[in-house]
Amino acid sequence: MSNELLKSDVTAEALIAKAQRDGVETMWDRKAAQKTQCGFGEAGVCCRICAMGPCRVSPVPGKGAERGICGANAGTIVARNFVRMIAGGASAHSDHARDIVHAMHLASAEGPFKIRDEAKMRRIAAEWGIEAADTKETYALAHELAEMALEEFGKPFGTQRFLTRAPQQRQDIWKRERMEPRAIDQEITTIMHSTHIGCASDIDSLLNRGMRASLGDGWGGSMIGTEFSDILYGTPKACASESNLGVIDAEMVNIVLHGHDPNLAEVVVVASKNPELLELAKSLGAKGINVVGMCCTGNEVTMRHGIKIAGNFYQQELAIITGAIEAVIVDVQCIFPALPALAKKYHTHFVSTSQKAKIAGDMYIEFSESDALNCAYGIVKTAVENFANRDASKVEIPNFKEPTIAGYSVETIIDHLDKVVNSQLEDKLGTVKPLSDVIYAGVIRGAAGVVGCNNPKTEHDLGHVTVIKELIKRDVIVVVTGCAAQAAAKVGLLTLEAKELCGRGLKEVCERVNIPPVLHMGSCVDCSRILDLVSRVAVEKGVDICDLPVVGSAPEWMSEKAVSIASYVVASGINTYLGIIPQVLGSVEFTELLNEGVRANVGAVYVFEKDPLVAVEKMMVDIEEKRTALGI
Ligand code: SF4
Ligand code: FE2
């Protein structure tokens, strides 16, 4: 075993041992090869923004160079690096969303892209002020709405349309702070401009711009990604699935869908049910075609089709090491460049499909939305044919999997609440009032969104699982997305039975509403569902988001996208607890700004806490203080 951090994960243990027997490397080997990681980079004080550099300044005041050649100090360098991470993350979420909207622009009654949630489309069309939104012909409206959404990325005037979903108090804060995001692309471009050599050096101004771009992600790109995916592929409903590498089936053709974009995954799921391909699989000795998900592409198809979850970010190599994967089909984001070489050590085809994520050494089959079904058919056929090349002596699938319930969109949560209040109370149906009432009554103390990735700086999944278990024990309902959701799934937390791990109040709510205490709300872009849910509670109670006993948590984050998410969650008024410390500690001033200073601007802060147990204690103090301030 290359890393002691693996000690508690038996699934990983078995496959890491197999990796060693098979002579293949994993991320833990490469992590070990890095030895001690660069201290300047870790502190965020290395700058290579211009060719006078790279410059590195001392993370310790009074020791070594305090300024880069242009005169930038630690604060400026750290702040520029941090907000460039936001720009990277916001661009990834938003560019993904743009692809979804383009697919909707191609939608037609004949398919393959169809309008599957027409009611939602009409609701959003009305929200955005389209005339006759309730009567227009379905596809005429779809195309008009898609064009409007595409304009959100580059419109020359105005701010993001979905901002008006936030409570008025929050919108007023954004206006006061000049933080209302304009066009999504503009905010990202502005960051790249502001952080160019010789532009912004003021850390408050840099963070302000970073937060504005992150809001353009959360309330712009990500929210568009979520809502338009729902229109196109259906709004998720609670559905049963299974999770962990044990869902890989030795007797089937196994296809792993990895990445983030549902456009490709949706048609691969359709193609995998094609009778000709099923016949081909059987003719080669397989019992069928088993499509499984990984990372957020997995979450997207789990939420809508119950597709089984093979694993989260850290398991992408382990899945191939089982020796039972005919193809890993990837779209964009969070895909290790190491995968093609690893796949070649087995019989696995590593198929990349997007120009945006062309990966050296791949089998490249470009996915085109305009020829989606043919494209997916070809990719799945390649996988099926590869079954003949499987080497049975190399197959070892850990026998671990857990039942999982996913699919808790805001609409589904409201639907569950409606079923409870329907017969008894005078509560309005179709609102979050029953949820906000149980929080205000103290039956549930508060709510937490636990999101984000895995990171080999910490034991994978341990932070997610510890934070979630400790919160539900303390009567805090938890919503999850991304790899955090999959971590919870793999230990059985996304089940009705998980109520047994809850405090008395939350257990009672789970029983009455018939939900797990941990609600899988989707992929990383679906953190926008969390914003929507929290906003509805705040609006319903007439308070701002920052007044509510609600926290955000990213125990094991690693990506730029996570920095953008953390930033828009904070800018939306929710204290956000990060289990991995961002690369900012080289500037005392910027660290203080994140941890405390920004509270004066947006009413929330970034909290750094590596220890998940201590983090939960801090979250509970936070939640109880909010309750006291509300007088509840
Ligand atoms: Fe050095 Fe300034 Fe150039 Fe950064 S921008 S590399 S600190 S000279
Ligand atoms: Fe993700």
pLDDT tens by residue, 525-582 = 999 999 999 999 999 999 999 999 999 999 999 999 999 999 999 999 999 999 999 9
| Residue range(s) in the chain whose domain bears CATH number 1.20.1270.30 | 74-233
Coil, helix or strand at residue 107:
coil
Contact status, residue 160 vs residue 215, Cβ threshold 8 Å = yes
Establish whether 47 is an annotated binding residue.
yes
**What residue spans of 315-448 are helical by DSSP H?**
316-321, 339-345, 372-385, 410-421, 433-441
User: Does the beta carbon of 45 sit less than 6 angstroms from any atom of ligand 1?
Assistant: no
68 lines ligand 1 (CB under 6 A): yes
What's the pLDDT tens digit per position in 237-271? Answer: 999 999 999 999 999 999 999 999 999 999 999 99
Residue pair 11/245 in contact by the 8 Å Cβ criterion: yes
Asked if 57 and 67 count as a contact pair (C-beta separation under 8 A), the reply is: yes
What is the CA(71)–ligand 1 centre distance, in A?
Answer: 8
55 CA to middle of ligand 1, Å? 6
pLDDT over 90, % of the chain: 94
Break the chain down into helix, strand, coil percent, rounded to 5.
55, 10, 35
Q: Enumerate residues 6+ apart whose C-beta is below 8 A from 221.
A: 90, 93, 94, 95, 96, 97, 98, 153, 184, 525
Q: How far apart are the CA of 87 and the centre of ligand 1, in A?
A: 19
Residue 199 pLDDT > 90, yes or no? yes
Which pLDDT belongs to residue 7? 43
Please give the distance, rounded to the nearest whole angstrom, from the Cα atom of residue 69 to the centre of ligand 1.
6
DSSP 8-state secondary structure symbol assigned to residue 6 = G
pLDDT in tens, 91-148: 999 999 999 999 999 999 999 999 999 999 999 999 999 999 999 999 999 999 999 9
Query: What pLDDT score was predicted for residue 4?
Result: 42
Ligand 1, residue 53: give the atom nearest the CA: 6
- Please report the pLDDT score of residue 620 as a whole number: 98
> Is 483 one of the annotated binding-site residues?
yes
Best residue for ligand 1 mutational test, from 40, 46, 48 (most atoms within 8 Å of Cβ): 48
pLDDT-derived band at 422, boundaries 50, 70, 90: low
- Asked if residue 52 has its Cβ within 6 Å of ligand 1, the reply is yes
Positive or negative, the CA dihedral 397, 400, 404, 409 is negative
Which of 357-371, 421-435, 592-606 has the weakest average pLDDT? 421-435
Residue 424: what pLDDT?
56
CATH of domain 74-233: 1.20.1270.30
Q: What is the pLDDT averaged over residues 423-427? A: 56
Q: Output the CA 228–ligand 1 centroid distance in Å.
A: 41
pLDDT of residue 429: 81
Asked if residue 452 lies in contact with residue 562, where contact means CB atoms within 8 angstroms, the answer is yes
Q: Is the CB of 5 under 6 A from ligand 1?
A: no
For residue 259, the ligand closest to its alpha carbon is 2
Topology given in CATH for the domain delimited by 408-630:
Rossmann fold (3.40.50)
- Tell me what pLDDT residue 59 has: 84
Indicate the pLDDT class of residue 474, thresholds 50, 70 and 90: very high
Class of domain 245-394: alpha beta
Q: Which ligand is nearest to the CA of 554?
A: 2
Confidence band of 419 (pLDDT split at 50, 70, 90):
confident
Pick the residue whose CA is nearest to atom 3 on ligand 1: 50
Asked if the model's pLDDT at residue 394 lies above 80, the reply is: yes
The pocket of ion ligand 2, defined by CB under 5 A, consists of 296, 482, 524
Q: What is the mean pLDDT of residues 414-435?
A: 78
pLDDT-derived band at 61, boundaries 50, 70, 90: confident
pLDDT at 428: 62
**Could you tell me the two tokens for 422?**
């329907």
Domain with CATH 3.40.50.2030 in the chain: 245-394, 408-630
- Rounded to whole angstroms, the Cα distance separating 464 from 481 reads 11
Nearest CA to ligand 1 atom 7: 68
Is the CB of residue 60 below 6 angstroms from any atom belonging to ligand 1?
no
Residue 395 has pLDDT above 90, yes or no: yes
The two three-digit tokens of residue 112, written as one number:
């393959």
The answer to whether the annotation marks 375 as part of a ligand binding site is no
Does residue 40 register a pLDDT over 70?
yes
pLDDT mean over 11-26: 93
Q: Is 524 annotated as a binding residue?
A: yes
Q: Is 546 annotated as a binding residue?
A: no
Distance, CA 94 to ligand 2 centroid (Å)?
13
Residues 6+ apart with CB under 8 A from 127: 161
Atom of ligand 1 nearest to the CA of 54: 6
Average pLDDT over all residues of the chain:
96
DSSP string, 409-433: -HHHHHHHHHHHHTTT--PPTTSSH
Mean pLDDT of 75-99: 98
Which atom of ligand 1 is least distant from the CA of 68?
7
CA–CA distance, 553 with 466 (Å, rounded to integer): 12
| pLDDT at position 425 | 55
The bound ligand whose nearest atom lies closest to the alpha carbon of 55 is 1
